[in-house]
């Protein structure tokens, strides 16, 4: 009889152990999933990897693209994207008012790019001197009017933004993401658009910290 009782207990004990391991495994997977989702904010191995982006249609990073649609205003002028603003400022810089009117009136990115490609009197050296400031101001205007986009920008932490356009070595690096990793940074273009996003993120962070400090002061917190 004792043996029979012993046999009846063993299966119950064996059944309980896998259940405990299964629950622990599930908890572990959930924790790893949460950790993976937070890699943009916490200093991990991924935190050192650049954020490559290019086209506005890219699922996770398309919102960083110059041509991602987001309506905002600069000096009272309405733009539909950062790229739209950059082309308009380029026409202004070189005094091509006809191109400027057409760029501002264009409804689609395709039309805006078409007229932007027809700007007259361009001096490449002068353009390079102004391009970073123009792109930065446009990005600041874009992200300051959209809290959701602002949050997505900040979610990448301190990671480097890289415009992986194979067709642009001024605003981008002249390579797509896969080729960029292969060739190494020493062969990349200037990535001015990525730099503009860095500057925008820094300003957003400073603004947030300043606002928080003011709130603490008003509350008497030191």
What pLDDT digit, counting tens, does each position of 28-56 carry?
A: 444 433 333 333 333 345 568 999 999 99
Query: Per-residue confidence at 105, pLDDT binned at 50, 70, 90?
Result: very high
pLDDT at 11 (0 to 100): 46
Place of tokens 């012993």: 6
The pLDDT score that the predictor gives to residue 110 is 98
CB–CB of 121/178 below 8 Å? no
Question: Strand pairing partners for 113?
Answer: none
Q: Delimit the domains of the chain by residue range.
A: 49-219
Q: What is the mean pLDDT of residues 141-160?
A: 96
Task: Specify the pLDDT at position 206.
Answer: 80
Q: Binning pLDDT at 50, 70 and 90, where does residue 209 land?
A: low
The predicted-structure confidence for 54-101, as pLDDT tens digits, reads as follows 999 999 999 999 999 999 999 999 999 999 999 999 999 999 999 999
Write the class of the CATH domain 49-219: mainly alpha
User: Beta strands of the chain (E only): which ranges?
Assistant: 51-53, 72-74, 77-79, 161-163
- pTM equals 0.74
- Please enumerate in sequence order all residues whose Cβ is within 8 A of that of 217, keeping only pairs 6 or more positions apart, or say none: none
Mean pLDDT of the region 108-133: 98
Pairwise CA distance, residues 78 & 88, whole Å: 11
- Sequential DSSP letters for 141-178: HHHHS-HHHHHHHHTTTTPPEEE--TT-SSSS-SS-HH
The more confident residue out of 214 and 154 is 154
- Residue 218, pLDDT score: 53
Give the pLDDT mean for 174-196: 98
What is the model's pLDDT at position 215? 52
**Residues in CB range of 189: below 8 A, 6 or more apart:** 168, 169, 170, 172, 173, 174, 175
To the nearest 5 percent, what fractions of the chain are helix, strand and coil? 65, 5, 30
Closest by Cα among 207, 167, 177, 173 to 193: 173
The answer on pLDDT for 22 being more than 50 is no
- Provide the mean pLDDT of the chain: 83
Q: For the residues 107-117, what does the mean pLDDT come to?
A: 97
200 pLDDT above the threshold of 50: yes
Quick check: 141 pLDDT over 50?
A: yes
């Amino acid at each position: 009889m004792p043996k029979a009782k012993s046999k009846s207990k063993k299966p119950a004990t064996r059944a309980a152990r896998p259940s405990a391991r299964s629950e622990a495994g599930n908890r572990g997977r959930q924790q790893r999933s949460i950790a993976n989702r937070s890699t943009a904010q916490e200093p991990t191995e991924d935190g050192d990897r650049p954020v490559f982006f290019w086209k506005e249609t890219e699922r996770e990073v398309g919102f960083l693209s110059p041509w991602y649609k987001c309506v905002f205003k600069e000096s009272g002028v309405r733009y539909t994207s950062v790229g739209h603003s950059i082309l308009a400022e380029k026409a202004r810089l070189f005094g091509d008012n006809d191109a400027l009117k057409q760029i501002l009136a264009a409804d689609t990115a395709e039309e805006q790019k078409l007229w932007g490609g027809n700007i007259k009197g361009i001096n490449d050296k002068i353009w390079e001197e102004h391009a970073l400031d123009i792109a930065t101001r446009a990005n600041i205007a874009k992200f300051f009017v959209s809290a959701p986009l602002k949050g997505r920008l900040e979610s990448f932490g301190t990671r480097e933004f890289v415009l992986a356009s194979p067709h642009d070595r001024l605003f981008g690096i002249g390579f797509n993401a896969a080729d960029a990793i292969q060739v190494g940074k020493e062969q990349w273009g200037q990535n001015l658009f990525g730099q503009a996003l860095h500057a925008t993120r820094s300003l957003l962070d400073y603004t947030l910290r300043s606002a928080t400090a003011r709130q603490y002061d008003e509350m008497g917190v030191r």
